[in-house]
Structure 1
Amino acid sequence: MRSEVGTTVKLSNYAPAAYLVPAIDLTFRLDPKRTIVRAVMQVRPNLGTPPGTELVFDGDGVEMLDLKLNGEPIEAKTSPDELRIENVPHEAFTLEIETAIDPEANLALSGLYRSNGVYCTQCEAEGFRRITYFPDRPDVLSVYSVRIEALADQAPVLLSNGNPGESGALEAGWHFAEWHDPWPKPSYLFALVGGDIVGSFDTFTTMSGRTVDLGVYVERGKEDRTGWAVDSLKRSMKWDEETFGREYDLDVFNIVAVSDFNMGAMENKGLNIFNDKYILADPQTATDVDYANIETIIAHEYFHNWTGNRITCRDWFQLCLKEGLTVYRDHEFSADMRSRPVTRIAEVRTLKVAQFPEDAGPLAHPVRPTSYREINNFYTATVYEKGSEVIRMLRIVIGEKAFQSGMALYFDRHDGDAATIEDFLTCFEEASGRSLSQFALWYHQAGTPQVTAQTAYDEQAQTLTLTLEQSTPPTPEQNEKEPVHIPISFALFGAGGEELAVPNQSEAVRDNVIHLTDREMTIEFQEMENRPVLSLLRGFSAPINLNFDQPIEDRIFLARHEGDLYTRWQALDRLATDAIISSYRDSGGEQLASGTDALLDLYGEMAADERLDTAWRALALSLPNETTLVREIERNANPDAIHKARETFFHAITSRHGEAFGILYESLVSNEPYSPDPQSAGRRALELALLDYCTMAENSGERAKKLFDEADNMTERAGTLEVLMLRRPASQETAAARATFEERYGSNPLIMDKLLGMVAKIPGSDAPERVRAAMTHPNYVETNPNRVRALIGSFAAGNPTGFHQPDGTGYRLLAEVIGRVATRNPQLAARMATHFRSWKGMDSTRREAAHQTLLELRKTSGLPLDVRDILDRTLS
């Protein structure tokens, strides 16, 4: 476990590695409690390294057994966390290091560990140093050759990066397999797997005609649930060739799914390792959301082969260079595989729920941070999701043609490099002929820009005047913020819903995009015979908070007529948000806000409009979640009153449209065999959204229980159970459905995670006790990250009324779990600690309870650096 004391690493202090390792041969003798690792490294001083410079390699809890330089034993300063050698040759030399590690005891799930008896690795960001001493940093690229030895009955399958070499039997039941990766890579991309796993195999023919062998390996007994993963992989490979011209570069591509994993997946070169949650799928065990997530995450990890592996990061401050760029690529893939507007809505909702609060709170940091104490804590929504939005803006700013040219130049120029954000942006400056110095501020400034828009229409001059003003709120590390380049897509609409031509294009207004680069900007749209309706931030063209006091009738107009379906949804969602917050402020949520009749009518129109995609209609019926509403209120929030206001609005929609929703629901129920295609998934999404309203309208769980009993797929079974548990928690139908669900799926931890998540999200003052009781469930195992995220993460992130209890019981429950988990798995504990980030936005009673809980947790003896870093920043 990392020390609780850590030094701050600063971007400004970056210096190249003193010693490089062009090649490394690794031999593993696998044993559950004492694995022996022999590393033979070809080492040379880096250019500019002075003679006599001490060699310093990283370690983390490893046991040194033997050390030789050019075949001769040498003296060195060794500790479990560091290797220091003085007086090494100022020329190429060979360094041999033998270490011992204990995979079975490695509950941190970093380095080499065991998951359900399977040996596997996770080396990003700094896990390789838990295997052997090494310059464990991303700008040291090496060619890896690996030999794995294991007992054949314990680990019949032995995998590593690259292409397979020799394999065969050894003495006394042991066997070996050799692998070689010809592409230099940093240590964080090293991977090894050994175990009794079963593969599903296929092939892919690349655009140059090469055949690539594909394998998806899972624990024995799960192999019948890998078909969707294989199909998603093949579509990802084809899409990257067609969209970016990127061809795969090895003879094999393997994926292994394991039960215990700190992340969703890892892009190790040629051997991706996945949390099995994001591989296993069939209609009986996976929902439509699971299918979509598997498709996206497989694509994400595969796309890393170029944006992350072939071109990696110079240092961890450049993390967004691989993650933000690859998220952008997987978003585009998902949009092409599914509905682009629906995909975009999902992306923005995730951004607003996860990243906007991060930007607005004590954990705010730039897309490219300038310092860190623990790099594992910077795998954040800012780096990933906001990083993706910056790439999307870049494409808008310079145009599609220049963007594609810039990407091609980046791939060609930096293949094999450890690159920086500056390297990346330079390619687009050259491709477009534009300076991107101001645009680069998106990488350097934390916080979500606020843009205020005001309009005035002069009937006599037939001119619409738009005034825009931008500012970025101060964040812990940055008070003064410069104006950034904000592309604001827009449209003007006539009274009949027709989109109008923009009369005056300029450098600041081109291709229906306003390029806001100053703090203030005024634009006149002339020759407007009648006042047009203005639609701003179409497609969410920039990750900003837009304050536009637009007349309600204009928003309703846009909700009916906007051709950009993301913006049409946004208009409806904004109307609902404002109505709920008005109810919260005016009556504590007891009464519906005045003037909402036209808005309530819209819900009936949207649900019944068969011209609209069913998945889009399902999203339109889904009200803003309570976490988003808390963020909108910003200060002195009372989650109980917010919940009440949202329920009041939900009741109003139900009262007006319940009967019509019931008829529409019945028309959607289908006996067709299950298919995960977007159209079928959209139908089920709308069906379940309507069922939620029907269950409330009828004050009965009979309709939901009927669908639960008749469903032939997990989407409808889990969806109906969730409706019952949230709408009718004490009913006989709910108790019967839950008992059936547990009896049928009790042996499948991933399915039971869904039930744990449902329990965690039931609102009410008794929520902490309910969650505490669920922690005694046989399927809740606190050493497994999936279980903790399903129950505790869902409670803290998805149940504001339950988590933010005035007496602090929700906070204390989370703190207890963090304290226990931290001793085993600091990364998971730190991620759980981020759920405290919104505590300062609560009302005074809750704020004080959270503050006291955080102070007590901060006093915990031996708290690992990962957790202490989050707590220090949260309390700052």
Structure 2
Amino acid sequence: AGPLAHPIRPDNYIEINNFYTMTVYEKGAEVIRMFNTLLGPKGYRKATDLYFDRFDGQAVTCDDWIKCMEDASGMDLTQFRLWYSQAGTPEIEATGEYNETTKTYTLTLTQHIPPTAGQPDKDPMHIPVALGLMGPNGDDLIETQVLHLKEPQQTFTFKDIGTKPVPSILRNFSAPVKLTTDLTDDDLKFLMVHDTDGFNRWEAGQTYALRVINKLIDQGAMDESLLESLESLLDLAIQGKEDKALIAKALGLPDVPIIAQTRDVVDPDAIYKAREEIRNAFAERCEDKLLSVYKSNLETGAYSIAPEAMARRALKNMVLGYLDDPAIAAEQYKKSTNMTDRVAALGVLTDHDGPEKDVAFADFYQRFKDYPLVVDKWFSLQAIGVNDNTIPNIKALSKHGDFTLKNPNRVRSLYGAFAMNNPVVFHKADGAGYALLKEAVVTLNDINPQIAARMLTPLREWKRYTKDRQDKMKSVLQEIASTEKLSPDVFEIVSKSLKA
């Protein structure tokens, strides 16, 4: 949601360039993937074959695509079309109850689509909810089933369930929705380790971590059991019994922007402090195990893009982030034989001013200065550093010989990376991050209005932040709005943001 919330197929706009958004592209892609979930792999293949037979080489519409899905499957997708016309993210609340006497499990799903600008009232959506039921030994009690949620509230009953299950809801991210459940912390910890669905295993860990982080922010108390759960994943990595790529993902804590989405009032400093407290506590608790996993996954042979080799690098570099040691990162950089390991090392070093950082970044630039896309990465890695010198460094980098505001990728790599991927420094309480972005946007307004408008993304939801930050962001938006000859691109974003 937000002041510029729009459906996948917008019905009105001031400047069409402002709709190259995640809603159109990423949510749009998820909606296409939902057809595969609804029709099944064979049905979806049949429908896509029909689509290409009818329309290959033509300009077609969303309705043409959906009609092929209907004709090939015989399914009525009238209600599903709402995914293209209704803005906002559906919210699902799931509650379950097990009856020991009848051996039945009942799951109740309730859906709600929050109001958005121009759409105060929403109709219920057709939402595919993939469900599994896990037994106490980590076994699937039923095969994954796709439930069709079409009403504001529906109840589904499963018979012959011999023991109280833990539900695994929204498997394989079967729909782009926000899910809340009545799962306990113990349920989440169980799914985090035992769920047979890789996405839900990761999601359970993220949900549990979010609970712990928010409790730490609000009450100042850390739940040590999160550290125990993370340590159990580390033990699995040491034993070599699990997919290293999945463990690497599962070990990661939610990023600051994800945590911010769960807060009524966003204070980036408080979020970062709590996240760092947990990260540091885990690193201290498991230092020997982390070092063991890191060393056992170092590169030993020729560079490979085999899945096993990629998984090994992912795990090693996740652990490197927890170790957060400039000396280890610098050593990895020196010995790296591939871009993945070099960038991971620089990702650690960028937070630590010192000779290791200076030497590594200088070397990276000299090695790859003739490769524009890699130079973009060089700028970005410096823009996301969380330290007191980031803003002065960005100002210096804006005067670098390889930087120009006339190159959209270069703008994204410096100002975009800073404003959108470094929320801690961008939202510094003194407002220096906002002022830096404002200067760039005003200048870009005359050079590339589309990019200028895109740079305003982190200011759109200014009302969600602490009062001091609200005032500073609003002031910056007002100053931009008063700019002479403001482009339609920037005007649309600024005006809608201020009116929110």
Task: Tell whether 2:192 aligns with 1:546.
Answer: no
8 Å CA contact 2:233, 2:247 repeated in 1: no
Q: 2:353 aligns with which of 730, 736, 743?
A: 730
Question: Which residue of structure 2 aligns with residue 711 of structure 1?
Answer: 336
CA-to-aligned-CA distance 1:349-393 (integer Å, 9 cap, x gap): xxxxxxxxxxx2112100111112211111111111111111111
Alignment of 1:849 with 2:472, yes or no, is yes
Aligned to 1:631: 261
Corresponding residue of 2:277 = 648
Q: Cα 1:638–1:386, aligned 2, differ >3 Å: closer, same or farther?
A: same
Pick from 815, 825, 830: which aligns with 2:453? 830
3-state secondary structure, aligned to 2:115: coil
Quick one: distance in 2 between partners of 1:459 and 1:660? 42
Structure with greater proportional helix content: 2
Equivalent AA in structure 2 for residue 798 of structure 1: N
CA shift digits 1:719-752 (9 cap, x unpaired): 21221222xx133322332333344444544333
Residue 797 of structure 1 and its aligned partner are, at CA, apart by 0.7
Higher alpha-carbon deviation: 536-545 or 742-751: 742-751
Whole-angstrom CA distance in 2 between matches of 1:413 and 1:740: 54
TM-score, normalised via structure 1 length: 0.55
How far residue 597 of structure 1 moved from its aligned partner, in angstroms, is 4.7
Counterparts of 1:159-308 in structure 2 under 5 Å? none
Report whether the alignment pairs 1:519 with 2:152: yes
Matched residue SS, 2:420: helix
The aligned counterpart of 1:687 is 316
**SS in structure 2 opposite 1:399?**
helix
User: Could you say if the C-alpha distance between residues 638 and 518 of structure 1 is closer, same or farther in structure 2, counting changes exceeding 3 Å?
Assistant: same
User: Which whole-Å CA distance do the structure 2 matches of 1:512 and 1:749 have between them?
Assistant: 47
Q: In 2, distance between residues paired with 1:774 and 1:673?
A: 35
Q: 1:806 to 1:694 in 2, by over 3 A?
A: closer
Once the two structures are superposed, residues 773-812 of structure 1 have per-residue CA deviations (whole angstroms, 9 ceiling, x without a partner) of 3222222222111211111111111111111122322112
Match of 1:814 in 2: 437
Q: Cα offset for 1:766?
A: 4.8
Q: 2:60, 2:189 → 1: CA distance?
A: 47
Which residue number corresponds to residue 613 of structure 1? Answer: 243
Structure 2 matches for 1:292-441, cutoff 5 A? Answer: 360-441=1-82
1:596: which partner in 2?
226
Q: Which amino acid aligns with 1:784?
A: N
CA distance in 2: counterparts of 1:718 and 1:386, whole angstroms: 29
- Distance in 2, matches of 1:623 and 1:457, equals 32
Cα deviation code 1:522-548 (max 9, x no counterpart): 122233232111110000000000011
Partners of 2:7 and 2:88 within 8 A in 1 = yes
How many pairs are equivalent?
A: 499
Larger Rg: 1
Superposition pairs of residues 580-591 of structure 1, within 5 angstroms: 580-587=213-220, 591=221
Q: 2:292 aligned to 642, 663, 667, which one?
A: 663
Conservation of the 8 A alpha-carbon contact between 1:606 and 1:620: no
- 2:378 and 2:276 map into 1 onto residues whose CA distance is 23
Alignment partner, residue 162 of structure 2:
529
Which 5+ residue runs of structure 1 have no aligned equivalent?
Answer: 1-359, 503-510
Secondary structure at the aligned position of 2:151 is classed as coil
Q: Whole-Å Cα distance in 2 between the matches of residues 836 and 772 of structure 1?
A: 20
**Any conservation in 2 of the 1:766–1:802 contact (CA below 8 Å)?**
no
Work out the CA distance in 1 between the residues paired with 2:347 and 2:484: 40
Q: Tell me, in whole angstroms, the C-alpha distance in 2 between the residues paired with 1:663 and 1:400.
A: 42
| Structure 2 residue 496 is matched with structure 1 residue 873 | yes
Secondary structure, counterpart of 2:447 in structure 1: coil
Amino acid across the alignment from 1:802: V
2:417 is equivalent to residue 772 of structure 1: no
CA distance in 1, matches of 2:228, 2:410: 44
One-letter amino acid of the counterpart of residue 828, structure 1 = I
For residues 483 and 349 of structure 2, what CA distance do their matches in structure 1 show?
40
Cα distance change of structure 1 residues 873 and 607 upon mapping to structure 2, 3 Å threshold: farther
| Paired AA for residue 418 in structure 2 | F
* Cα distance in structure 2, aligned partners of 1:735 and 1:444: 50
Alignment check: 8 A CA contact 1:586 1:593 kept: no
* Conservation of the 8 A alpha-carbon contact between 2:141 and 2:161: no
| Separation in 1, partners of 2:331, 2:244 | 22
- Quick one: which amino acid aligns to residue 336 of structure 2? A
2:198 to 537, 548, 565: 565
- Range 466-475 or range 827-836, more displaced: 827-836
**Does 1:493 find its partner at 2:134?**
yes
**1:740 paired to 2:363:** yes
Cα distance in 2 for partners of 1:744, 1:641 equals 38
**1:489 alignment partner AA:** A
Contact 2:350 2:386 in 1 (8 A): no
For residue 872 of structure 1, report the CA deviation from its aligned partner: 2.0
Note closer, same or farther for the CA distance 1:612–1:856 as it changes in structure 2 (3 Å cut).
same
Distance verdict in 2 for CA 1:414–1:549, change over 3 Å: same
1:455 is matched with: 96
The answer to whether structure 1 residue 702 and structure 2 residue 332 are counterparts is no
Deviation at 1:837? Answer: 2.1
Aligned-pair distance for 1:640?
Answer: 0.4
For residues 441 and 551 of structure 1, the distance between their equivalents in structure 2, rounded to whole angstroms, comes to: 33
Paired AA for residue 33 in structure 2 = R
Match of 1:483 in 2: 124
Structure 1's 845 and 764: CA in aligned 2 closer, same or farther, altered over 3 A? farther
Identity of aligned residues (%): 39
Measure, in 1, the Cα distance between the counterparts of 2:230 and 2:292: 18
Relative contact order: is structure 1 or structure 2 higher (C-alpha 8 Å, sep ≥ 6)? 2
Q: What code does the residue aligned with 2:360 have?
A: A
Measured after TM superposition, the shift of residue 439 of structure 1 is 0.6
How far, CA to CA, are the matches of 2:43 and 2:314 in structure 1?
A: 38
1:490 match: secondary structure: strand
Query: 1:873 offset after TM fit, Å?
Result: 2.1
Q: Secondary structure at the match of 2:94?
A: strand
User: TM-score scaled by structure 2?
Assistant: 0.95
SS at match of 1:372: coil
Contact 1:367 1:442 survives alignment (8 Å): yes
SS at match of 2:443: helix
Structure 1 CA distance for aligned equivalents of residues 367 and 189 of structure 2: 46
- Structure 1 distance, partners of 2:38, 2:45, is 13
Residue 678 of structure 1 is matched in structure 2 by 307
- Separation in 1 of the partners of 2:485 and 2:215? 46
Give the aligned residue type for 2:350.
M
The 1:751–1:686 alpha-carbon spacing in structure 2 relative to 1, beyond 3 Å, is same
- Return the alpha-carbon distance in structure 1 between the equivalents of residues 303 and 239 of structure 2: 24
CA distance in 2, matches of 1:754, 1:578: 33
Distance 2:426 2:85 in 1: 33
Aligned Cα root-mean-square deviation (Å): 1.9
Shift of 1:573: 1.7
Q: 1:739 to 1:483 in 2, by over 3 A?
A: same
Residues 298 and 316 in structure 2, CA contact (< 8 A), matched pair in contact too: yes
> What letter matches 2:362 in structure 1?
A
